Chain A
């Protein structure tokens, strides 16, 4: 290494754009990941006048991806008005894809490797990749390797009717076979999170998101797509009674103790998001706003396979480590953006941080991280209302929080996103 190392400089969130999120098999059912990501990028380009610019990099990804989309992000960039000389790459880290993409780009900016970048993500469960069965795939591979008629016929003769059934991707965990919701149901029960508390959180999410639309908060965060201009999952008129009337959807084996419903769990959703990052110099040179500094981010993973932790509890660990590194307490934040995969996830995580035993035994802390001021939690709504197109959620959170911090003019915000595979990514933003 040379000894002329550059000092680390701030990475700034300039702004964001997303298309409205839409419930699966709804208005975006004919749109591909590439269509949606291109639209989100083009809206961002239009908002900030980036046409023809060569950015330092574009990183994004999709959780459910066709194999033909091996270069999804680069292909999307080529379809936008950005310079064709803008490099791009795919990231894939389940629901933390967007956060990982944005965080690693911020690091490159901090190190002075690049001056500008777009991070984000996209997902569709309406246009999901359908694979052929393993049996059929094996035959087809042999067929392509066969040189003459006889081995070809032999290969074909191995096809059985059951091989013709396609394989659709599921959200089940490969190592446990349990769906994410059923995993969370175990955690929710372990932390004794009540049905009422979950329904209240879901209701607050809808009310907060509706109020944010009402005050035009999203005018410079969303660009309509395919005739949709508002998240289609939003139920502004939802009530606690309506939510209470829903039947459990996950953890049904818990019987009367099952608390997780379609109302307090996120639905399958289609959508895309993008966040523009830059150095201070880049923002100044292009007369662009500086909403917040992307201060730090941290990933964690838990051993959910052997039951040591709940599938979606990794952020509890990541936050503890990140706070320590930054000499902050959990209470040093003005806004908390905790991704609502399930209401139970948010509430279990909050309970864990406030639990002396968990904090001591699992996080190795003398004292618990403590409780947070709930009036600072997801104040403009979160995934329960907006929906959760897996990889697109990170971009939604970063852009929303950065704008909130900039509006306030001071303070700090915490982002926490859980992900499949027992992983999670958390981040700190600071107002400018």
Chain B
């Protein structure tokens, strides 16, 4: 499962060889570990936004060294572009060029994050142009960065302040090693809802979280991440996976619930277990999923229907049960996939289910918000799991390296970190959205 190529080009003699041959050299990503610095150096705050000073104060409060100029700084940990008040494309020049001048100082694992506003159909054309232009510019920055550095953006909805809790939480997430494999992406903040955690290392303290499909792979990583972040975790999987599930439950000091999510009473069982045994149900991660790949020309009903039933129909049914139970503040995060965005050969059924998830969260956002909660999705790209380990070595090496800007596959924990962020109360202002965790893969938007 390990990415041998990544190890080889980053160590010893083979590192020298790879460099002299000009081979692509993916970097070891800066991943989160409790207690580590938020950024690998000072943060440069660019842009003339009226909120800049307020943001600078917040960043200082996070213990960061905040600079308004790159002069005299050898190594930058991050660059923040405050672009939320731009009104015409020409105004983008100064901040982008200032960022460009500082890029060479950006440390490995550094972060470039923009703050801008959503382009609306009702905007003046010049306003919409600059706002949409930021999208293209930032994604391009992502493609130019090296050393495991990433570029992402926060898009503020109409009337949402840059210091809205979810905007700050998104900024904190992008800075942190938690977003290691998120690159070239935008998080939209639609409201001023949400509260920042008292302790950023325990954002889920006191929460009861259910993770479906938790016996292995990404699901097991999600359970561990939510547990690390303070949640009490109920792990769910089909009865046949119960032995692996029990091991995960015992690792995260949670409880195991063996239930097939396609059962009509799965939602009721989950609610009953969480509430009876742990007192509440605050978070549900719809991770259970299967693949039954076949070219459409060779597809049969069994393959098609089972994928739809597990990956999307079960989530729709469980969500109805959760809404009917009126669980206060319930936050849901659902697993989509880049296949559901860009398509993938041999995965018409899977892509239909995963595209379905993206549509489902968008259309369910209002209902969950009404109960004080929210629903979002995470779309992983190429993730190193038991499933992808079955892809032939050559194909896998190419897939993980040549496609994404970060030139490597992600790890289950990278997906788990994004899910943990969206599951937290601090992300309450983000609703109905899909965040890609794909290392800025070439596929899709």
Contacts and interface: CB of A to CB of B under 8 A. Distances in A.
Interface of A: 39, 42-43, 45-49, 51-52, 80-81, 216, 218-220, 222-225, 229, 287-289
B243 A43 contact: yes
Contacts of A52: 253
B253 A49 contact: yes
A43 B242 contact: yes
Nearest to A19: B243
Nearest to A81: B250
Contacts of A45: 246, 250
Contacts of B250: 42, 45-46, 51, 80-81
Given A46-B255, A216-B263, A287-B277, A223 B246 contact: yes
B277 A219 contact: no
A219 B253 contact: no
Contacts of A48: 255
14 contacts: A43-B242, A43-B246, A43-B256, A46-B249, A47-B249, A47-B256, A48-B255, A49-B255, A80-B250, A81-B250, A224-B240, A224-B243, A229-B240, A229-B242
B66 interface: no
A220 B253 contact: no
A219 B259 CA distance: 7
Interface in B112-138: none
Contacts of B278: 287
Contacts of B258: 219-220, 223
Interface in B240-282: 240-243, 245-247, 249-250, 253-260, 263, 276-279
B239 interface: yes
B256 A46 contact: yes
Nearest to B275: A287
A229 B246 contact: no
B246 A42 contact: yes
Interface in B206-235: none
Given A81-B250, A216-B263, A220-B258, A287 B276 contact: yes
Nearest to B248: A46
A224 B276 CA distance: 25
A42 B242 contact: no
Task: State which size class the interface on B falls in.
Answer: 20 to 34
A287 B242 CA distance: 22
A47 B239 contact: no
B282 to A, nearest CB: 16
Contacts of A287: 276-279
Given A223-B243, A224-B241, A224-B242, 17 more contacts: A39-B243, A43-B246, A45-B246, A46-B249, A46-B250, A47-B246, A47-B255, A49-B249, A81-B250, A216-B263, A220-B257, A220-B258, A222-B242, A223-B258, A224-B239, A229-B242, A287-B276
Contacts of A81: 250, 253
Nearest to B256: A46
Given A216-B263, A287-B277, A287-B279, A225 B253 contact: no
A224 B242 CA distance: 6
Contacts of B259: 216, 219
Contacts of B279: 287
Contact of A42 (B247, B254, B255, B263): B247
Nearest to A218: B239
- State the 6 A-B residue pairs at the shortest beta-carbon distance, nearest first: A46-B246, A46-B249, A46-B256, A81-B250, A49-B255, A223-B242
B33 to A, nearest CB: 23
A339 B162 CA distance: 69
A372 B243 CA distance: 39
A266 to B, nearest CB: 24
A288 B247 contact: no
Contacts of B254: 49
A288 B257 CA distance: 14
Nearest to A17: B246
Contacts of A43: 242-243, 246, 256
Nearest to A289: B276
A216 B261 CA distance: 13
Given A42-B247, A219-B259, A223-B258, A49 B277 contact: yes
A223 B245 CA distance: 9
Residue of B240, B241, B243, B253 with highest tally of chain A CB at under 10 A = B243
A76 to B, nearest CB: 14
Contact of A288 (B241, B260, B277): B277
A43 B278 CA distance: 18
Contacts of A42: 246-247, 250
B30 to A, nearest CB: 31
A355 to B, nearest CB: 43
A39 B276 CA distance: 25
A219 B272 CA distance: 15
